[in-house]
Chains A and B, each alone.
Chain A
Amino acid sequence: MSGSRQRLVVVGNGMAAGRVVEELVTKSPGLYDITIFGAEPRVNYDRILLSPVLSGEKAYTDILIHDDAWYRRHGVALVKGRPITAIDRARKVVRGADGAETAYDKLVIATGSSPFIIPVPGAGLPGVVTYRDQDDVERMLEAAARGGHAVVIGGGLLGLEAAAGLKARGMEVTVLHLMPTLMERQLDASAGYLLERAVEARGIRVITRANTHAILGEDRVAAVRLDDGRELPADLVVMAVGIRPNATLAKAAGLAVNRGVVVDDAMATDDPDVFAVGECVEHRGICYGLVAPLYEMAKVLARRLASDDTAAYAGSVLATRLKVTGIELFSAGDFAEGDGREEIVLRDPARNVYRRLVLRDNRVIGAVLYGDTSDSAWFFQLLKDAGDVTELRDTLIFGPAYAGGSPLDPTAAVAALPAEAEICGCNGVCKGTIVTAITEAGHASLDAVRAHTKASGSCGSCTGLVEQLLELTLGDGYQRSAVQPICGCTDHNHDELRRLIVAHELRSLPAVMQELGWKTSCGCAKCRPALNYYLLATWPGEYVDDSQSRFINERVHANIQKDGTYSVVPRMWGGLTSPAELRAIADVADKFAIPTVKVTGGQRIDLLGVKKEDLPAVWADLNAAGLVSGHAYGKALRTVKTCVGTDWCRFGKQDSTGLGVRLEKFLWGSWTPHKVKLAVSGCPRNCAEATCKDIGVVCVDSGYELHFAGAAGMHVKATELLCTVASEDEVIEYCAALLQLYREQGRYLERIYKWAARIGSAVVREQIVDDAQRRRALFSRFVQSQRFAQSDPWAERVQGRDAHEFRPLAQVSLEDVA
């Protein structure tokens, strides 16, 4: 070798290192004597393609980037399987594990990253692997050959690819993911939902919100235990929860290191002769884990090494694509910053397509495509070009095929359909039948067409199409039905939504928004609380409450006051309390300097003016005295007010207090469309004012009069009589059945009296009183739902659930400000 050439040493032989060397030897050959030290006993291969190797779609030899001949041809010395253990910058040498030293003039650190191992018991057991290199793939293939169960921890890009590969190799695969939706860093909730469905359709089980507690096994892995106690059998556990830069070598050499090796735009460290590239670096505060930015960095570094001082790396716009055959998914862009952002959303529920573009100042800054990613390159280019898209805007979301075309007439698509095209799949109604019903039979409204043809009469998802046919056929003569959609995010009204949630078995917010064509990506303050309730009421025990879709009072189990403080109302069953409870309340009021203590209309004590950060401590003290949440903050069972009845009153006909307590203990905790207040009066003198409540019980000689649909707020209305029953057990059964009927049919924020007026009190009586079978079915559904609803939210908070809710993010001192 010529002694005049500079010596370049590269530590690491991953994709970034390989690309630097390749750029250098092809574009500026002969500048350096190059020596590469690789920790793996291999040449440079394409890690991105490990997934197809795992699934069997490719072989290891297919993914080699540089074979041995390549290194020979370019005069590059590759030292395989020799990790570098130290850098001596003073003497400008690197040292290997065997103590051998190699001198450099310029040094490139490309040590990559390591998979993050979550520190749970059993993480070191044989059979627990990461997913990083060809060795990992070989370990997984070996396990897959024996069959059995694989548990993949981490539902990100790598985890899902590993899961798909192992499934393709015949294992039973479960993916555990800590967050509510898969790949939440790259995808929004809607695309995450579609992805979860597609993954499950391949026979892979997905458990979200799964926190791994321990990995179990004697001499090798046998199972994974979650925080909630569930145990999943496992013959193989793959940890794919993330990576962290390998910066220890650089740090030990005294180079500046944060999360990764700190480099400037020239890819130089704080030592001008030492550069770093790839996943081990931190550039402008960001560590990258995708291949595109690594290649961009490599290009810049190669030019710098060839003395091109203009080469600079300015950071990368990221794009992600999942490499699982049959799942089309693309996301790109920076969603994290910016002013004046707007979004354009396109959903095609029938084809499982979801597209979302994020715009700022009429420029595309982010894109999520699911189902049909054929236009991803075009969108990504728009994003990178950051050009003004005002001209394209109307049809932008449809992709380049429509770019700049005239805006589509919304009825054009349906106009283009032939007469025999099916419009209503449920009832097999074609376009011609509907048009004939309109033109010849003269049906000019949605209801008439529906009654006459049955189109849109079952699941209702074709309602929009039928309306478009009416518009198309009648022109201006047709007025869309006056049914109010619940908000601007959707064309559906409350009743349609409730029906469609059941008909399509929609079990999450993203599912509803995708399948029912929401016009926004995550709803608004009107639709989210309503949907959250509908899902909770429809799928008890299964739907996971979305606290961010709850009004603040329900989110923090207390009522917000005008000054931002809260009021706290403990439950007093049937209005009964005791000296011990009163003492506890008094102590809490003293201890936390609660300014106002007031008795409420529902026979409770209200502590007003509690500071938010004090709430958990207030609840802890109240809990210790046996007091639980009174749900005064909720669209839920509030109070059962009572009078003293036969216990004390000389007029009392029945034990109204005891019955009130029993009713409250049975009904508490259930979520309802609006608040629900009950009362039990011991005689017709009605001291508990039961006849203006949502549900009221008036005790008489022969038993109990059941009343419903009263109101005493903005509207005042006496109750209507439901029926009279003879026993307390019947009171419980009828009241619970009535409450359940309301829970199933009521619109969100519709009180019982409004619901009853809308559907007719007679219809309520028919279902509850006349139809015993139906009543019992309603009752048992209520009981089932209560199994999941009756836990004291205060106690959960005292245990520390969502503690962030009650703490400030930070407290800034005067010095920080001034």
Chain B
Amino acid sequence: MDMMVSRWVDVGALDEIPRRGARVVKTPLGCIAVFRTEADEVFALDDRCPHKGGPLSQGIVHDRSVTCPLHNWVIDLATGKAKGADEGRVATVPLRCEGGRLLLDLALMASRAA
């Protein structure tokens, strides 16, 4: 695999996402769900549940997990893995929070599309 060069893109401020909530970043290659936990951690995942493609951004956020709104799969926000008995994994997107701004690294996404 080629060396990947990070491509950090500013997508907004931390404060624009409610605690225990999520917002969507739309890209030409699909939606990314950006989550903010009660403890102000942030995570970004593809906005598609590995089960039936449910929009994870619409689920209930608890600790570092989100429960998919369609069939209650619980996804670990840090790893993208389904928890409990379910098996599956959703792609994570590198995300940094700097000075209250949220930066997504879209390089990996672009490479997947390429």
CB within 8 Å of B: which residues of A? 184, 188-189, 258-259, 282, 284-287, 335-341, 343, 358, 366, 520-525, 528-529, 547-553, 556, 560, 562-564, 804, 807-814, 816-818
CB-CB under 8 A from A553, the residues of chain B are 69
Contact A189 B38 (CB under 8 A): yes
Q: Which of B7, B12, B24, B70 contacts A562 (CB 8 A)?
A: B70
Contact A525 B25 (CB under 8 A): no
**Known pairs A521-B38, A564-B55, A817-B110; A812 contacts B27 (CB<8 A):** yes
Q: Smallest CB-CB separation from A529: which chain B residue?
A: B60
In the complex, how many angstroms separate the beta carbon of B112 from the nearest chain A beta carbon? Answer: 10
What are the nearest 10 A-B pairs in CB distance? A809-B23, A285-B99, A525-B67, A810-B11, A335-B39, A564-B55, A525-B60, A548-B20, A552-B58, A812-B27
**In the complex, A484→B83 CA distance in Å?**
21
Can you list 21 contacts pairing A with B, beta carbon distance less than 8 Å? A184-B19, A287-B99, A336-B14, A337-B96, A339-B79, A520-B62, A522-B38, A524-B67, A547-B18, A548-B61, A560-B58, A560-B69, A562-B70, A564-B55, A809-B102, A810-B12, A810-B26, A811-B26, A812-B11, A816-B7, A816-B27
**In the complex, A727→B12 CA distance in Å?**
59
In the complex, how many angstroms separate the beta carbon of A511 from the nearest chain B beta carbon? Answer: 16
**In the complex, A597→B28 CA distance in Å?**
29
Q: Smallest CB-CB separation from A260: which chain B residue?
A: B99
Contact A548 B59 (CB under 8 A): no
**In the complex, A340→B64 CA distance in Å?**
9
B90 interface residue (CB < 8 Å to A): no
Q: Smallest CB-CB separation from B38: which chain A residue?
A: A522
Number of A-B contacts (CB under 8 A): 142
Chain B 23-64 interface 0/1 with A at a Cβ cutoff of 8 Å (1 = within): 111111101001000111110000000001111001111111
CB-CB under 8 A from A188, the residues of chain B are 38-39
Q: Which of A358, A524, A808 contacts B25 (CB 8 A)?
A: A808
Chain B 61-86 interface 0/1 with A at a Cβ cutoff of 8 Å (1 = within): 11111010110101000110000000
Contact A524 B70 (CB under 8 A): no
In the complex, how many angstroms separate the beta carbon of B32 from the nearest chain A beta carbon? Answer: 8
**In the complex, A521→B65 CA distance in Å?**
13
Contact B40 A548 (CB under 8 A): no
Q: Which of A284, A286, A521, A564 contacts B39 (CB 8 A)?
A: A521
Contact B109 A809 (CB under 8 A): no
CB-CB under 8 A from B40, the residues of chain A are 335-336
B2 interface residue (CB < 8 Å to A): no
In the complex, how many angstroms separate the beta carbon of B95 from the nearest chain A beta carbon? Answer: 9
Contact A808 B16 (CB under 8 A): no
Contact B20 A522 (CB under 8 A): yes
Give the one of B18, B59, B62, B70 with max A CB within 10 A.
B62
B113 interface residue (CB < 8 Å to A): yes
CB-CB under 8 A from A560, the residues of chain B are 55, 58, 69-70
Contact B106 A816 (CB under 8 A): yes
Contact B24 A809 (CB under 8 A): yes
In the complex, how many angstroms separate the beta carbon of B94 from the nearest chain A beta carbon? Answer: 11
CB-CB under 8 A from B25, the residues of chain A are 808-812
CB-CB under 8 A from B69, the residues of chain A are 551-553, 560
CB-CB under 8 A from B79, the residues of chain A are 339-340
Contact B64 A548 (CB under 8 A): no
Contact A814 B42 (CB under 8 A): no
B97 interface residue (CB < 8 Å to A): yes
Task: Knowing that A285-B98, A525-B60, A804-B16 touch, tell me 15 more A-B residue pairs with CB under 8 angstroms.
Answer: A335-B39, A336-B14, A338-B78, A366-B39, A521-B38, A524-B65, A528-B62, A548-B20, A550-B60, A552-B59, A564-B55, A804-B17, A807-B23, A809-B24, A817-B109
In the complex, how many angstroms separate the beta carbon of B1 from the nearest chain A beta carbon? Answer: 17
Q: Smallest CB-CB separation from A565: which chain B residue?
A: B55
Give the one of B23, B38, B55, B61 with max A CB within 10 A.
B38
CB-CB under 8 A from B18, the residues of chain A are 547-548, 804
**Known pairs A285-B98, A564-B58; A340 contacts B39 (CB<8 A):** no
